[in-house]
Amino acid sequence: MRNATARALLAEIEAYLVRTGATPTKLGLAAVNDGHLVANLRKGHSITLKTADKVRAYLSRAGRSPQGRHPEPGLHAVSHAEIAGAAGGGRAAHRGIDRRIDGRIDGRIDRCVDWRIVLVIGGGIAAYKCLDLIRRLRERLAVEVLTVMTRAAQEFVTPLSVGALSNAPVSTELFDLDAEREIGHIRLARDTDLVVVAPATADLIARMAGGHADDLATSLLLATDRPVLVAPAMNPHMWLAPATRRNVALLAADGIHFVGPETGEMAERGEAGPGRLAEVPQIVDAIEDLLGLAGGAHAAEGPLAGRHVLVTSGPTHEPIDPVRYIANRSSGKQGAAIAAEARRLGARVTLVTGPVSAAPPAGVDAVEVETAVEMLGAVRAALPADIAVFAAAVADWRVAHAAPQKLKKREAAREAPRLELVENPDILKTVAGLPPGERPPLVVGFAAETESVVDNARAKRKAKGADWIVANDVSPATGVMGGDRNTVHLVTPEGVESWPELDKAEVARRLFERAAYWLAVNTASA
């Protein structure tokens, strides 16, 4: 049976032959018998890594020779016709070759040439959902899905079902003699466009965060230099456990992408909270985003296609000295949910975020800042935008002169240092007050209040010149700051809509339902 290396190499050779007009027997691979090599590859034979590397080195050298028409054969764009025609319809799999989307039907990607995903399946109750994920990935994106199952995953779904749906080999063992003749775990890690972990158990997340490599899944995750998308699924107590929080934060800081988890009912009776695997279409969306396909697929479809949405989120940190700062309890969850919703509706999204622990949603351009002054700078740089939503809890004041060194406690003086505060720039008011053309057509502010919520929001809307204000009660008893739910009032020139307590994602959905409609009625798309 042809191995992945052979398939990849054949695609490169076929593309090379098409490009140069050479025939297989005249390939000129001094060290190997060219004609036989190509014939055998076409028949589906395997090849060793060593031979493949030798051939690649030759192709690379030949491509740089005066006869070569392309300077970087491994990197040049190969059309679908070239690959499909020359390779008898086989899909090129070498990661260096430019990928093409073959066609679209109704804005949907019809077929992606040449993408490969490695799906790592963890041992959780949601493992059965990976079958639907594989089916959708193959149907919607036509990507090749190679699967790796942990030992625990095989307790929940069988490699047979996974292999039948993926129509590709399922890897389960690190110490696999056949695969490891070609250092299979490294090949799996590298010869792919994206690694997806779904469902990601608490255990797998912990082992990833700890840099473990004690099975095939963790070895390839440690070895990969490709983007990694993690879809966690576990009991809410496991998800909220300090150890899991730390592990997720570590992985996010390492650049690992997350999708979900969702909040809701768990498989265990009577259990509810955050920890449900993200819905399969949401995982597919995140995969598309990471593969850079969403710009085509969603943007072509969504009501905000062609629009730019700017969102601010999270707290700001205003330094007192190099180690201390003034902050607030904002978690950035509402802003992130708004950014994700705008992205889902097809917008290009810039999320300017203060320091938060959660990773930004997939597919948004995240700009990380610390202070209010930095946030204003990032907002200005991100303009123009069609909609600007200011959900960040920006500090009203900053310390006038942050100390260059850590402030010392002076026992003798028995006097606490006095901090002189100065007002921070008002980002909402600044942007809402920009002249037409520079001002986003729809400017939405958030008002975090602890009393007279609606009255204060009405006054704020006028004082700041915002179009809409989303007012929420952030008194400690409400649990809004840092929580997953929110009770808001939408204050517009037309009046006040009071919504019931909702998930922050649902608040985002309702807000953007109205925002997309407003934009469609009041402005023309670019």
Ligand X SMILES: Cc1cc2nc3c(=O)[nH]c(=O)nc-3n(C[C@H](O)[C@H](O)[C@H](O)COP(=O)(O)O)c2cc1C
Q: Which is nearer to ligand X, 56 or 276 (CB)?
A: 276
DSSP sequence for 204-218: HHHHHHTT--SSHHH
The answer to whether residues 440 and 418 touch, using CB atoms and an 8 Å cutoff, is no
Residue with tokens 């997309």: 516
Q: Which residues bind ligand X (CB under 6 A)?
A: 122-126, 150, 152-153, 201-204, 233-234, 238
Angle 70-76-81 from CA coordinates, rounded to 5°: 100
- Catalytic: 456? no
CA Rg value for the chain: 27
Is the Cα torsion angle 308, 77, 227, 157 positive or negative in sign?
A: positive
Helical spans, DSSP H, in 236-384: 236-240, 242-253, 280-290, 294-301, 333-344, 372-382
DSSP sequence for 32-53: S-HHHHHHHHHHT----HHHHH
Neighbour tally for 290: CB within 10 Å:
21
The answer to whether residues 487 and 472 touch, using CB atoms and an 8 Å cutoff, is yes
Q: Closest approach of Cβ 232 to ligand X, in Å?
A: 8
Q: Which is nearer to ligand X, 238 or 407 (CB)?
A: 238
Q: Closest approach of Cβ 235 to ligand X, in Å?
A: 7
The answer to whether residues 427 and 372 touch, using CB atoms and an 8 Å cutoff, is yes
Q: Closest approach of Cβ 66 to ligand X, in Å?
A: 53
The answer to whether residues 229 and 201 touch, using CB atoms and an 8 Å cutoff, is no
Q: Which is nearer to ligand X, 153 or 367 (CB)?
A: 153
Q: Which is nearer to ligand X, 164 or 243 (CB)?
A: 243
Supply 56's token pair.
């690649």
Q: Closest approach of Cβ 168 to ligand X, in Å?
A: 20
Separation of alpha carbons 508 and 515, rounded Å: 10
Q: Closest approach of Cβ 122 to ligand X, in Å?
A: 4
Q: Closest approach of Cβ 125 to ligand X, in Å?
A: 4
Q: Closest approach of Cβ 374 to ligand X, in Å?
A: 37
Residue with tokens 């590397």: 53
Q: Which is nearer to ligand X, 235 or 328 (CB)?
A: 235
Q: Which is nearer to ligand X, 230 or 294 (CB)?
A: 230
Q: Which is nearer to ligand X, 238 or 373 (CB)?
A: 238
Separation of alpha carbons 347 and 339, rounded Å: 9
Q: Active site residue: 247, 328, 424, 486, which one?
A: 328
Q: Closest approach of Cβ 41 to ligand X, in Å?
A: 36
Is the Cα torsion angle 14, 41, 87, 189 positive or negative in sign?
A: negative
CB contact set of 156 (below 8 Å; sequence gap of 6+): 123, 124, 125, 127, 128
Q: Rounded to the nearest 5°, which phi and psi values hold at 159?
A: -55, -25
CB contact set of 143 (below 8 Å; sequence gap of 6+): 112, 115, 116, 117, 137
Active site residues: 328
